[in-house]
Structure 1
Amino acid sequence: MSIYSYHAKTIHGEDKSLRDFEGKVLLIVNTASECGFTPQFQGLQKLYDEVGNDNFEILGFPCNQFGGQDPGSDGEIAAFCSANYGVSFPMFSKVEVKGDNAHPLFKYLTSEQKGILTEDIKWNFTKFLVDKNGDVVDRFAPQKEPAKLKKEIENLIGA
């Protein structure tokens, strides 16, 4: 199995293969619209504007499992992200990221990069960094600001 074995539904309802991102460095983030970390959308968008090109993508996956902080529909989430943060990186349909109903992609990500004490994602805006070969190379806690990932991302792009 690799990250390219997975599919996910975009926030607009289209099935998308992660194989479409093959050869790119990826930052995969579980997001929420009503979280204390929600302003990180601004930092993610800035990172995407500065680094995003043919070699890098941010993939956002809304999740409502932590404090009910993303209760809206996919359409409402898409409108919120666009209107408030100008999000232009790919966003996907709302998913679960932990537990029995976790999306298979997140089961894979957490098995490849465990968190402190456990595999489980503990909160919104947990970030997974994937290299150009599709290997999950790092995991970052929600507190890690997107700007602090820029150098590591650029190093992976140049590798």
Structure 2
Amino acid sequence: MSAPIYQYAPLALNGQALPFSQFEGQVLLIVNTASECGFTPQYTALEALFQRYRERGLTVIGFPCNQFGNQEPASATEIGAFCQKNFGVTFPLMDKIDVNGKAASPLWQYLKAEKPGLLGLPAIKWNFTKFLIDRQGQVIKRFAPQTTPESLASDIEALL
């Protein structure tokens, strides 16, 4: 039986379901993103990680979220255009979601349960929280927003 993460099929920016079963056997870096956040420049480094390791089996997946300071107010089309134009993003971007509260995405509920944050609290505290998933679909680590994507390279390489 495959890992629980492969049962999810969240919507991509284009409104189509993206079955995570297609990522089975890959390393995933899942990030909640926002276009108007102080951490938004991390898109550049996330894209660099994707380009550097994708041939070896890494996929970065961004989940725009407007729950923190109204920093992702744009539509799906605007988010995609912004990320492409300003940061050259080619990794998959998903439809805007909630990561906390009653309307939280089931995938994000799962990620938070698998790797709670500081003091064991599951809530996502801000944009650009990152989850690293191994080739077997296990949630290996959770990284704080201020943890730079560049600093994840050794953790990613260990899983590739």
The alignment's TM-score, normalised by the length of structure 2, stands at 0.96
Structure 2 CA distance, aligned partners of 1:91 and 1:45?
A: 11
Q: 1:95 aligns with which of 97, 100, 111?
A: 97
Superposed counterparts of 1:120-139, under 5 Å: 120-139=123-142
Indicate whether 1:141 and 2:152 are aligned: no
What one-letter code is carried by the residue in structure 2 that aligns with 1:79? A
1:40-69 per-position Cα deviation (integer Å, ceiling 9, x unaligned): 001101111111225110000000000000
Query: Deviation of residue 5 (structure 1)?
Result: 1.1
Superposed counterparts of 1:25-104, under 5 Å: 25-53=27-55, 55-104=57-106
Q: State the secondary structure of the residue aligned to 1:64.
A: coil
What one-letter code is carried by the residue in structure 2 that aligns with 1:12? N
Q: State the secondary structure of the residue aligned to 1:15.
A: coil
Q: State the secondary structure of the residue aligned to 1:28.
A: strand
Q: State the secondary structure of the residue aligned to 1:4.
A: helix
Paired residue for 1:17?
Answer: 19
State the identity as a percent. 50
The gaps in structure 1 that reach 5 residues or longer are: none
Structure 1's consecutive aligned runs of 4 or more residues displaced over 3 angstroms after TM superposition are none
Structure 2 CA distance, aligned partners of 1:2 and 1:126?
A: 20
Query: Deviation of residue 129 (structure 1)?
Result: 0.3
Q: State the secondary structure of the residue aligned to 1:81.
A: helix
Query: Deviation of residue 20 (structure 1)?
Result: 0.8
Indicate whether 1:5 and 2:14 are aligned: no
Structure 2 CA distance, aligned partners of 1:87 and 1:121?
A: 23
Paired residue for 2:158?
Answer: 155
